[in-house]
């Protein structure tokens, strides 16, 4: 849902999923959600392996 300022209405969502690789982009996405007021308990972090590498 898009709010009046052209930004999504984050209050319309119960859960946010971030595919976290540990890189700068996924970390920036997580920090952006937090800075926009999304509560920590509403954010799910899913470990995402990049470059075809699996768990160590």
DSSP letters for 26-46:
HHHHHHHHHHTT--GGGEEEE
| Predicted pLDDT at 56 | 63
pTM of the model: 0.74
Strand partners, 45: 18
CB-side neighbour CA atoms (13 Å) of 7: 7
pLDDT band for position 55 (50/70/90)?
low
Question: Taking 80 as the threshold, does the pLDDT of residue 2 lie above it?
Answer: no
Q: Are strands 16-20 and 43-47 parallel, antiparallel or unpaired?
A: parallel
* Site of tokens 């007021």: 37
pLDDT tens string 15-53 = 999 998 888 999 999 999 999 999 999 999 998 777 766
| Predicted pLDDT at 32 | 94
């Amino acid at each position: 849902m898009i709010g009046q300022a052209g930004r999504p209405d984050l209050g319309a969502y119960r859960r946010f999923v971030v595919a976290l690789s540990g890189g700068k982009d996924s970390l920036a996405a997580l920090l952006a959600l937090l800075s926009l007021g999304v509560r920590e308990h509403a954010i799910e972090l899913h470990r995402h392996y990049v470059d075809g590498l699996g768990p160590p």
